[in-house]
Structure 1
């Protein structure tokens, strides 16, 4: 029976299959359904804009400038950022292909490898990390708010835990806006990205002026040499990889809208360049702070409070604007949808946003950002190791096990081949455990510490190979003949409008 149509490499459900799937409320709602043909409308420029907006953020600045504090010089830090960004772009593009081809969001993609119920494991793992980033951005915004209030109201700094008060106020603002959904700040997001870009240019100009030119600004020598440099370089590259490891998982949430595979590929290729360019600004300015203040100020808010009052006011507003926009647009979507997916009839997006905010508090962002070591090696390194096996399993499943042949309707049917054993794919659980073994060995055996510091790299490879081996004869795989039986090729007209797929909750 034909249930899906493929044209120009994009697969959509037939109207009949979509109608049948929409009756299964436990697996289908308007957020989880696959895209219609008309909804595949994002061109390369849209993906480029998406990445520019996500790269121009305070955590990117802090990641890059912190490498100066670690002991690298400007070109070593820039090279580290570019290398890590280029490495993580590979799994991003491999996973993005699945989202574009089948038009499904990340939680539905996860059903393919973990099962209809087991998919909650990778979805919630992604949610935890998203909540962590929500807290980090909220902490940056809270510090900026605290700096502004300290300048506006002289008595503010005498209110005991004034920083905590500012953080809670900013956290409440973020959660309140997030409850209204990402669309509520669409215009604000369009304004924030270029504003932050202009602020970066202004900051670079200040650094150049304060240091006496570009050459003095970049003259801070490296303090890491020989083995010490490489001991910092590889974990730092993995830290950059981990910085975007979340997107390597849930990139289908965005790539599902691509008009074609070449469009999403061209648009996303800008990411390493944008990361390197904006990182260079952070690196150069941090190098200038060494010359001006005698120490590296890798947290931009620490630098902000050294400026005159008008600059603190304007700069603080920009940091706040950036933090709110990125939080609601990038860090709430995945966690809120994951929570919503647990009980779609009960948990709304607004409730999911509140749950994300509460989880962010439990992640203790003030501790994560206390030192650069905590930020890169504890936070980024640990969650990179956590997510690495999921990336490996997703890539191995789509490219090696199934050769890109899926039964799209089956992902919305609890009785389909993708239900596995009562909704769980035990082979995926075993591959996940196998992927975590090498980093854990490195964690407990000091002589093998490189296995922990490079945890993402080792876990993604081991988990992917283990999963491909475990699934090599699984009954859920479609051969070419079976795929042809359920798929109408090329001549299929565009599937109906989005309204035909909408279902009530």
Structure 2
């Protein structure tokens, strides 16, 4: 990424056309665009926020994940976004078109620059992106989905098998079609926030359930989701015209988050549940004998020490 940024800034003799011209919007249009851009940026990281417990659960102490969450992740996210914007801006100055996709940019460099150095540079850049995508998909998709499937069907599934199932599903839904049209890809990617923002709000309030089900969570999620669906559908279809549904979608992440927080909190007040105390009466009594070593004895209270 830094190599491409250095090349782009050098070839364009600066940061490119994005930095020079003033804003084309004014007044309320500029305000709505700014809010939409802010919540789109936040919403794009929602899946990472929700899925981080797949890895923080293995932390040795409760504070072990704070450095990554408070410092490393925000810095990496912001630096990547800035570099992507500057590269796209410089590439537009060089080639006269917006190349937001790194792979399309590398292909354009190959077609326009026939020098051996340029082709070698695109090869190593593509190799770096390949390694990055493989690592990212394994970490964020394969392992996390494998953990979920193993939890749902532990008798038939483990993490490896769950990862294999997801890989087959990913091929079946033809995800590469998302990159054939930039506007559709960006809209769908940013639109995930309408589904994830209510989930994030619910987790921020509490994480409790009874007998494996919490109807309050479903109700809060639906209330934070359904008003955003019309605007999301209009954005995907490309017919947004700035009406009420469209503006509600423009603030979709913030709306879904706070509505889910309020509804979930209100439902817990109206229908309170027993608070978790840190202890659990659920005991694997039928598994305890399997772990009992030979010759073990019960203690003075009549409880096997190994089982405790």
Answering whether residue 115 of structure 2 is matched by residue 314 of structure 1, we say no
Deviates more, 1:351-360 or 1:289-298: 351-360
Name the residue aligned to 1:434.
223
Give the TM-score normalised by structure 1: 0.47
TM-superposed deviation, 1:219: 4.3
Confirm whether residue 303 of structure 1 aligns to residue 105 of structure 2.
yes
Tell whether 2:249 aligns with 1:452.
Answer: yes
Number of aligned residues: 263
The CA distance in 1 between the partners of 2:176 and 2:22, in whole Å, is 28
Q: What is the alpha-carbon distance in structure 2 between the residues aligned to residue 363 and residue 453 of structure 1? A: 28
Aligned: 1:371 with 2:181? yes
Q: CA deviation at 1:269?
A: 1.8
Q: CA, structure 1 residues 222+351, in 2 after alignment: closer, same or farther (shift >3 Å)?
A: farther
> Take 2:59 and 2:254, find their aligned partners in 1: how far apart are those partners?
28
Which aligned pairs between 1:338-487 and structure 2 lie closer than 5 A? 338-381=148-191, 383-398=192-207, 418-420=209-211, 423-440=212-229, 442=231, 446-472=243-269, 473-478=271-276, 483=277, 486=279
Whole-angstrom distance in 2 between the partners of 1:438 and 1:288: 39
The alignment's C-alpha RMSD in Å is 2.9
CA contact (8 A) 1:245 1:388 kept: yes
Distance of 2:64 and 2:160 partners within structure 1? 32
5+ residue gaps in structure 1?
A: 1-199, 403-417, 488-498, 501-505
Question: C-alpha displacement at 1:356, in angstroms?
Answer: 0.8
Q: How does 1:65-84 map to 2 (within 5 A)?
A: none
- 3-state DSSP of counterpart to 1:296: coil
Equivalence map 1:220-369=2 (5 Å): 220-222=20-22, 224-226=24-26, 227-270=28-71, 271-305=73-107, 306-307=109-110, 308-369=118-179
Q: 1:362 to 1:455 in 2, by over 3 A?
A: farther
- Tell me how far 1:443 sits from its aligned partner: 5.4
Q: 1:215 to 1:426 in 2, by over 3 A?
A: closer
Q: Which has the higher contact order (CA 8 A, sep 6+)?
A: 1
Highest CA radius of gyration, 1 or 2? 2
Give TM-score, length-normalised by structure 2. Answer: 0.74
2-side partners of 1:462 and 1:310: how far apart? Answer: 51
**Structure 2 residue matching 1:332: 3-state secondary structure:** helix
